[in-house]
Amino acid sequence: MIKFKKVNKVWPNGKHALSDINLNIDDGEFVAIVGLSGAGKTTLLKTINKFTPINSGEIEITFKDDIFNINTTKGRKLKELRKKIGLMSQEYNNIENQVALKNVLNSRISKMSFWRSIIGYFNKNDKLIALSNLEKLNLLDYAYVRVDNLSGGQQQRIALARTLSQEPELIIADEPVSALDPILANQVMQDFKLINKKENITIIINIHHIDLAIKYADRIIGLKDGLLVFDGKPKELTKDKLSVIYGDSYGDLKND
């Protein structure tokens, strides 16, 4: 689905955020990207939807009905690409004074006509899609509850339901469980796994929790100082490989 070919990203100060990244991600994979803060994880994600343009190399994304070369994709074509990619972060990005259903429905605006979006008119199909995704995540009972009355884990799952209602072919998530306690983080990761397998949606997630990456991901990618230093199955992520990814910090990591 996604091919990185000798991708480089250099910041104006000369720092290499990504260095010669060669990487293929297949359709339907659940990929976890790990590494220290500043390793290039977020930058890598943002190059996929061109929120961060690359300096050299090539990124090609193949969807069911189209192929996008990130280097040349712009204008209307870029909007089409971003509609196919669901984006999540550690911030829930919910509107707190709205009920859960309305928050999920907001993702349908990009698929509405100009006048429908202006007046905020959601048709029966929009509502069925939103309610269906709330049900998938066991949130249907909270459809008419204001999200500021929900827990952090429930709010992140509302955000996931909203992302699903966008009907994406790919979800990229930047540290979506970092603000949650261990129990809630596990629940949200279970939801990601469920959606990945049942909906066959490719998911790429940046995560600091090594244990959760090993438990739920099909594949782990390790970055260090912008370099790809590990790419393999969770069971292949040995202590020696973790030391390569985290360096001297791995000793602190083991004690956390």
Q: What is the pLDDT of residue 52?
A: 96
Q: What is the pLDDT of residue 256?
A: 44
Domain boundary assignment for the chain: 26-50+78-255
Residue 175 has pLDDT above 70, yes or no: yes
Instruction: Give the burial class of 218: count Cβ atoms within 10 A of its Cβ; 0-12 exposed, 13-18 middle, 19 or more buried.
Output: middle
Contacts of 256 (CB under 8 A, 6+ apart): none
At residue 164, what is the residue type? L
Work out the percent of the chain whose per-residue pLDDT is above 90: 74
Q: What is the pLDDT of residue 165?
A: 92
Gap between the Cα atoms of 256 and 242, Å rounded: 15
Q: What is the pLDDT of residue 109?
A: 75
Residue 211 has pLDDT above 90, yes or no: yes
Condensed to tens digits (0 to 9), the pLDDT of residues 105-114 reads: 988 877 666 6
Condensed to tens digits (0 to 9), the pLDDT of residues 110-152 reads: 766 666 666 667 789 999 999 999 999 999 999 999 999 998 8
Gap between the Cα atoms of 44 and 54, Å rounded: 10
The answer as to CATH 3.40.50.300 being correct for domain 26-50+78-255 is: yes
Average pLDDT value for the chain: 90
Residue 254 has pLDDT above 80, yes or no: no
CA torsion 154-218-90-189 (nearest 10°) is 20
pTM, 2 dp? 0.88
